Amino acid sequence: MTNILIIAILAMITILFIMLIFMLIGWRWIMKRLVKQAGKIIMTDSYQENLIELIPGFKHMGIQNALENNLRAETGDVLHRPFGSSKKWPHFDEITFIPAQTSPFPIDGDEDVDVKVTIGPKAKKPMKIKIPLMISGMAYGIALSEQVKIALATAAKNTGTAINSGEGGILPEELENAGKYILQFSKTEWGKEEKTIKRADMIEIKLGQGAVMGMGGNISPENLTGRAREVMGLKENETAHIMEHFFDKQTLKDLKELVDELRKMTGGVPIGAKIGAGGKIEEDIDHLIEMGVDFIAVDGGQGASVGAPPLLADDFGIPTLHALIRASNHLEKRKKKGEISLIISGGLFTPGHFLKVLALGADAVYLGSVMVFTVSHKHTLNALPFEPPTQSVWNEGKFKDTFKIEDGTKSAEKFLTASTEEIKMALRAMGKKSLKDLSKKDLVSYDELTAKMIEIPFSFESWEDKANKTD
């Protein structure tokens, strides 16, 4: 029996060896035959039965639109796309900083640069953070896994910044590991326990966001499993509801009373609101001022979500850049600049983006999608090549159990640290020792329309001439 097995193995090895020799010797012939046959089909079949029909079809409709329409045809339900809009929005790339070289001069690389930020300076208990970058609200259970939330909370603490809870369940371990904690007060039944509210260093009333505006949603038991259901107080087969309003027949007076109640309950931490940036942003800001908020978080049209309907993500809202300029200008017009903090998010992925947002009037930046990809870092290799890399971070991800908290913490922490160091280097290159010295006077744009809209110099013109016109 052993001899027969040996003979069989040797025979298989011999066959494989012969096949390999044939491939090495005849690969050119094989490739030529394949190309010739494929070319004959493409060049002779009629257009209606030719695969190249895909080229004008996709060019006409767009590959993403064609594929998403097929998903709609498969389910007959509202499509939910992760990571927000994929359209090309006006952005920050056409803006550049002005270096200090002859006078003033750059700051020595050994000198420290102050990048500390205070949110809600007029609040009884302002929130002070060491860096201007905060981790945005990403929901436990609805979006991220337990391991990822703990890793992000720990990274935020280690870098001296804050993390937002998001509208999912409030994970006890996240609270334990977090330093500065922002409670997102959402239109849900969960996340409103008094002890959690009193633990918060800041409370953000979620009225809307960039990817879904002010709409809510329902999460079925099949799409929300595990411990998250217990944390959120859901029964075995209960659907999780995110509503569109906090109150029946809701009014601005109701929301103002909510702000006052939360301020009293917390002893005076900053109470603010988050909105998706829309065409009436000045009106929205006036209403928030009327509510008595300490900060306003504006999520631009590029803002993302774990699963937003493409219609809301692509065809509602205004670009983050436009929203930032209008919000900053309006707060200044209302003489609230420096009293009500402005936090910006939506499509911000690099230290350059972050710093430009701060130069244009924001007090701090929320980071969402970029943190999902940096906290996962090498964990994405567990899912690739047959699954999307985010399958290692979602609560329902197939590879969530392979995520190691310690590794995720280090990756997120290093990204925040590296980004902050780049920001400090950029400030030194502009001759500045503090983030407080930064303003839009430190910017130019090589796009004439962008320069005109923001009221910064167009790089083809003399900076001095532009400055004189502005004055």
155 and 301 in a single domain? The answer is: yes
Tokens at residue 267, please? 């002893």
Mean pLDDT of 455-463: 87
- Same domain? 305 vs 240: yes
Average pLDDT over residues 175-204: 95
> For residue 131, what is the domain's CATH number?
3.20.20.70
Scan for tokens 């329309």, then name that residue. Answer: 449
Same domain assignment for residues 36 and 165 = no
Select from 75, 104, 134 the last residue of a domain. Answer: 75
Q: Is the pLDDT of residue 119 over 70?
A: yes
| Per-residue tokens: 181 | 């904690």
pTM over cut 0.75: yes
Answer yes or no: is 202 within a domain.
Answer: yes
Q: What is the mean pLDDT of residues 284-299?
A: 97
Query: Considering the domain boundaries, does residue 112 fall inside one?
Result: yes
* Shared domain check, 129 and 53: no
Residue 333 forms part of a structural domain:
yes
Domain with 312, as residue range(s), is 95-454
Q: Match 């002010």 to its residue by tokens.
A: 214
**Confidence check: pLDDT of 4 > 70:** no
Q: Total domain count for the chain?
A: 2
| Residues 65 and 127 grouped into a single domain | no
Contacts of 310 (CB under 8 A, 6+ apart): 68, 79, 81, 85
| Domain co-membership, 227 together with 285 | yes
55 versus 378: the higher-pLDDT residue is: 378
Query: Within this chain, do residues 118 and 55 fall inside the same structural domain, yes or no?
Result: no
Distance between CA atoms of residues 363 and 294, nearest Å: 12
Helix or strand run (H / E) with residue 30: helix 2-44
Q: Which of 20-24, 269-273, 393-397, 453-457 has the highest mean pLDDT?
A: 269-273
Asked if 257 and 386 sit in the same domain, the reply is yes
Question: How do strand 117-119 and strand 127-129 relate by DSSP bridges?
Answer: antiparallel
Looking at the structure, do residues 69 and 156 belong to the same domain, yes or no? no
The tens digit of pLDDT for each residue in 248-259 reads 999 999 999 999
* Residue 303 falls inside a structural domain: yes
Q: Confirm whether 81 is domain-assigned.
A: no
Residues 37 and 99 occupy one common structural domain: no
Q: What is the mean pLDDT of residues 31-56?
A: 79
pLDDT band at residue 468 using 50, 70 and 90 as cut-offs:
low
Question: Helical H runs in 200-247?
Answer: 227-231
Residue that is last in its domain, among 75, 105, 134: 75
**In 209-350, alpha helices (H):** 227-231, 252-266, 281-291, 310-315, 320-333
pLDDT category of residue 165 using cuts at 50, 70 and 90:
very high
Say if residue 59 is in the same domain as residue 163: no
Determine, yes or no, domain membership for 85. Answer: no
In degrees, to the nearest 5, what angle opens at C-alpha 342 toward C-alphas 356 and 338? Answer: 105
Q: Quick check: is 158 in a domain?
A: yes
End-to-end CA distance of the chain: 97
Q: Rounded to an integer, what is the distance from CA 72 to the centroid of its chain?
A: 25
User: What average pLDDT score do residues 71-97 get?
Assistant: 84
Residue 471 has pLDDT above 70, yes or no: no
Instruction: Give strand pairing partners of 95.
Output: 445
Q: 68 and 153: one domain? A: no
Does residue 363 fall inside a structural domain?
yes
